[in-house]
Structure 1
Amino acid sequence: MDKQMNGQQFKVTESSLLLAFLLQVVDRGRNYTKAILARGQVLVDGEVETAYNYALEPGQQVTILKQAPRTEKLNGVKILYEDDDLIVVNKTAGLLTIATGKDQQPTAYRELNSYVRKKNSANRIFIVHRLDRDTSGVMVFAKNEKTKHKLQNNWKQVVEERTYIALVEGEVKQTKGTITSWLKETKTHQMYVSQSTNGAKQAILHYERIQTNRQFSLLAVQLETGRKNQIRVQLAHIGHPIVGDKKYFSKSNILGRLGLHAKVLAFTHPTTKEQLRFEANVPDLFFQKSKG
Structure 2
Amino acid sequence: MGPENSPEFQEDELFEHHRILAPKGQKPLRVDKFLMNFIENATRNKIQQAAKDGHVLVNDAVVKQNYKVKAEDEVKVMFEHPPHEFLLVPEDIPIDIVYEDDSLLVVNKPAGMVVHPGHGNYSGTLINALLHHIENLPVNSNERPGLVHRIDKDTSGLLLVAKTEAAMTHLSKQFFDKTSEREYVALVWGNVEDNEGTIEGNIARHPKNRLQMHVFPEGDQGKEAVTHYKVIERLGYVTLVSCKLETGRTHQIRVHMKYIGHTLFNDERYGGERILKGTTFTKYKQFVENAFKVLPRQALHAKTLGFVHPVTKKIMRFDSEIPDDISSCIEKWRHYSKHSQ
Where on the TM-score scale, by shorter chain, does this alignment land: which range?
0.5 to 0.7
Structure (1/2) with the larger strand percentage: 1
| Counterpart residue number, 1:239 | 261
Percent of residue pairs bearing the same amino acid type: 35
Does the Cα contact within 8 Å between 1:98 and 1:109 map onto a contact in 2?
yes
User: Which residue, out of 330, 334, 337, partners 1:287?
Assistant: 330
Aligned to 2:154, the other structure's residue is in SS state: coil
Gaps of 5+ in 1: 1-72
Unaligned runs of 5+ in 2: 1-91, 139-144, 276-291
Cα deviation for residue 153 of structure 1 reads 2.9
Q: Would you say 1:148 and 2:168 are equivalent positions?
A: yes
**Whole-angstrom distance in 1 between the partners of 2:162 and 2:308:** 13
Letter of the 2:313 counterpart: K
| 1:268 aligned residue (298, 304, 308) | 308
Aligned residue among 129, 140, 165 for 1:111 = 129
Note if contact 1:96-1:133 (Cα within 8 Å) is conserved in structure 2. Answer: yes
Q: How many Å apart are 1:102 and its aligned residue? A: 7.4
SS at match of 1:202: coil
Give the Cα–Cα distance (whole angstroms) in 2 for the partners of residues 221 and 100 of structure 1: 27
User: Does the Cα contact within 8 Å between 1:86 and 1:141 map onto a contact in 2?
Assistant: yes
Is 1:176 aligned to 2:196, yes or no? Answer: yes
The runs of at least 4 consecutive aligned structure 1 residues that moved more than 3 Å come to 101-104, 122-125, 156-160
Q: Tell me by how many angstroms 1:285 deviates.
A: 2.1
AA of the residue aligned to 2:242:
A
Query: Retained in 1: the 8 A contact 2:93–2:124?
Result: no
- How far, CA to CA, are the matches of 2:137 and 2:190 in structure 1? 47
Distance 1:203 1:104, change over 3 A: closer
**CA offset digits 1:45-89 (Å, max 9, x no partner):** xxxxxxxxxxxxxxxxxxxxxxxxxxxx953x3111101110101
1:156–1:226 distance in 2 versus 1, CA, 3 Å:
same
- After superposition, give the CA deviation of every residue in 1:105-132 in whole Å (9 maximum; x if it has no partner): 3111111221224xxxx56751111000
- Name the structure 1 match of 2:215: 193
Instruction: Determine the C-alpha separation between the residues in 2 that align with 1:81 and 1:189.
Output: 33
Shift of the 151–272 alpha-carbon distance from structure 1 to 2, 3 Å rule, reads same
Contact 1:185-1:191 at 8 Å conserved across structures? yes
Write out aligned runs for 1:87-98 (5 A).
Answer: 87-98=105-116
Q: Alpha-carbon deviation of 1:157?
A: 3.9
Amino acid at match of 2:110: T
Name the TM-score, length of structure 1 as normaliser. 0.68
> Alpha carbon RMSD of aligned pairs, Å?
2.2
Contact 2:174 2:307 in 1 (8 A): no
* Maintained 8 Å contact 1:126/1:143: yes
SS at structure 2 position matched to 1:154: helix
Alignment of 1:17-36 (within 5 A): none
In the aligned structure 1, how far is the partner of 2:185 from the partner of 2:309?
A: 24
Report which stretch shifted further, 252-261 or 232-241. 252-261
Q: Work out whether residues 158 and 268 of structure 1, in 8 Å CA contact, stay in contact via their aligned partners in 2.
A: no
How far does residue 156 in structure 1 lie from its aligned partner after superposition? 4.1
